[in-house]
Structure 1
Amino acid sequence: MSPIQHDSPRRDLAETGNKSHGRPFLRWAGSKRKLIPVLQEYWSDSYGRYVEPFMGSACLFFHLDPSAGLLGDINAELVECFCQVRADPQAVHEELATYGHGSDFFYQLREKIPEELTPVQRAARFIYLTRYCFNGLYRTNQLGRFNVPFGGTRTGKLPTLEQLTFAAKKLNSAELICSDFLGTIERVQPNDFVYLDPPYWVEGKRRTNQYGPKTFCKDDLSRLKAALEHIHEQGAHFVLSYEDCDEAREISGSWHVKQVPVRRNVAGFSQHRKIEHEMIATNIA
């Protein structure tokens, strides 16, 4: 297999900095904001759609500001939140403006049943809980109910109307789907750019940033490896980020690989946060 060549030279940071000023409206564990200077080097305006099958907060999408996108995630609440922000950012902001502060309100809101709320209320609830929960995690119990505890109020402010309106404008260029990652990848077309940032499964390591039980497990690693082959065979471009480990090396196969130092932010105490290494695998030469 021969990696796909760039159609045009990569743009350096100075060229992209004045265009890509967008930031995600969600606080999200595992966000790749710190990797953006590395990831953006693989992007080219000559590519077709931007595709992301594990979209999370979609921070790279907002940063690159592509002309067309396909964003997918298995988390239905997340996808619905994006859809509501795109459809009516002002209504979502007005709902957020009615919310209180502190742990008491957080737990009152967490106990509400999403199915009994309007779509706008569900979107606002999702934004609020992920903003103020512990470490920005989204995790559910066996019943599929959000169960992350309150994490304090030093996690920044809720998104402004301007931020939500900006996000809505950018999302107008994207199709949003709720799907397993293969469901999104099956729709990849020639010359698409696909960024994959799956939950990390590492043998013997406990993971706290999974959506729920068995959301992404050992069996998915072989599916992920096959997905990279499929993307390449379609004539599309991919970039995969994963914790640098034996599993990642197995997935990466003969693709181009580089190691990047990154500070892990998902930890119970700040003194336990440390520099680890991320693996970037790509078929872009």
Structure 2
Amino acid sequence: MPTHGPIIPWIGGKRRLARHILPLFPEHTCYVEPFAGAAALFFMKAPVKAEVLNDINSDLVNLYRVVQHHLDEFIRQFSWSLTSRQMFEWARDQAPGALTDIQRAARFYYLQRLGFGGKVEGRTFGTATTAGPRLTLARLQADLAAAHVRLARATIEHLEWHKCIQRYDRPHTLFYCDPPYWGTEGYGVAFGLEQYTRLADLARSIRGKMLISVNDIPEMRAAFTGLAMQTVALRYTVGGNRPDSKPTQELLIRNW
């Protein structure tokens, strides 16, 4: 089974939850992530015949497409890059509309790799005293080469999440849905309570299988009532683990 992780940090990423989620996946021949984000489970699971990564974030979609189709030129963008606060601030203040798709993907990748906590809005330069630079050319080449091979099998979509589900719903499809967690910030997109209710309605009515991960709070239990639920306790902190971090309850919801 592949063990390659996501190519960028992402707020709310599910790499630490993978060992709880992946064993729950039923047999399927089409795998879809309507809220792909860093797509940790996609990169860590075994490939299947058809795979779809969808996200509303155009910078993220552009990054995956560039790594998929223009890997060599993308890597060349980092030939003289440094782990530098000054370069980070220059990139953050740059207008992406003036860049080519490859330059825009490189800017986004650089900001996500060096930013604090994987946020996509309100980014600040991340620092650490227990690890080396977050961006080195040798590591970047190895990580992106593996991602390029994995993404070669995938269809990259830029749809509203519910339209993605409706388009790919088949009896043999497995949807893994990781929407923004209710009451949290840093995703760069608004996601109201009514969206979770709509997601729950789709989970109950689609022909395919769906597994959803959300924060375990009363509002989420109410929205997804009637569906199978289980909890997983994890310690999360934005930007890494600390001894004083508090455990959080993750809610895993299935429609089977």
Q: TM-score, normalised by structure 1?
A: 0.82
- The aligned residue for residue 17 of structure 2 is 35
Q: Residue 246 of structure 1: which of 218, 226, 230 is its match?
A: 218
Aligned residue type for 2:172: N
- The aligned residue for residue 195 of structure 1 is 176
Q: Is 2:178–2:214's contact at 8 Å kept on the other side of the alignment?
A: yes
Aligned residue type for 1:50: Y
Q: Residue 99 of structure 2: which of 108, 117, 123 is its match?
A: 117
Q: Residue 63 of structure 1: which of 44, 47, 58 is its match?
A: 44
Percent identity of paired positions between Structure 1 and Structure 2? 29
- The aligned residue for residue 106 of structure 1 is 88
SS at match of 2:102: helix
Aligned residue type for 1:196: C
Q: Is 1:65–1:170's contact at 8 Å kept on the other side of the alignment?
A: no
Q: How does 1:91-240 map to 2 (within 5 A)?
A: 91-139=73-121, 147-152=122-127, 156-157=134-135, 159-187=139-167, 188-202=169-183, 207-212=184-189, 215-231=190-206, 234=207, 236-240=208-212
- Structure 1 CA distance, aligned partners of 2:146 and 2:240? 33
Cα RMSD for the two superposed structures: 1.9
**Superposition deviation, residue 162 in structure 1:** 2.2
Deviation per CA, 1:200-219, whole angstroms, max 9, x where unpaired? 114xxxx222214xx21223
Aligned residue type for 1:253: T
How many corresponding residue pairs? 249
**Superposition deviation, residue 272 in structure 1:** 5.2
**Superposition deviation, residue 252 in structure 1:** 2.2
Which segments of 5 or more consecutive residues in structure 2 lack a partner in the other structure?
Answer: none
Aligned residue type for 2:174: F
Q: Judging changes above 3 Å, is the alpha-carbon distance between structure 1 residues 94 and 50 closer, same or farther for their aligned structure 2 residues?
A: same
- Structure 1 CA distance, aligned partners of 2:91 and 2:109? 11
- The aligned residue for residue 10 of structure 1 is none
SS at match of 1:51: strand
Note if 1:264 corresponds to 2:236.
yes
Q: Is 2:197–2:224's contact at 8 Å kept on the other side of the alignment?
A: no
SS at match of 2:17: helix
Deviation per CA, 1:12-34, whole angstroms, max 9, x where unpaired? xxxxxxx2212111111111111
Deviation per CA, 1:129-153, whole angstroms, max 9, x where unpaired? 01111211111xxxxxxx4121226
Q: Is 1:239–1:282's contact at 8 Å kept on the other side of the alignment?
A: yes
- Structure 2 CA distance, aligned partners of 1:97 and 1:29? 27
Aligned residue type for 2:80: T
- Structure 2 CA distance, aligned partners of 1:116 and 1:23? 31
- Structure 2 CA distance, aligned partners of 1:220 and 1:266? 24
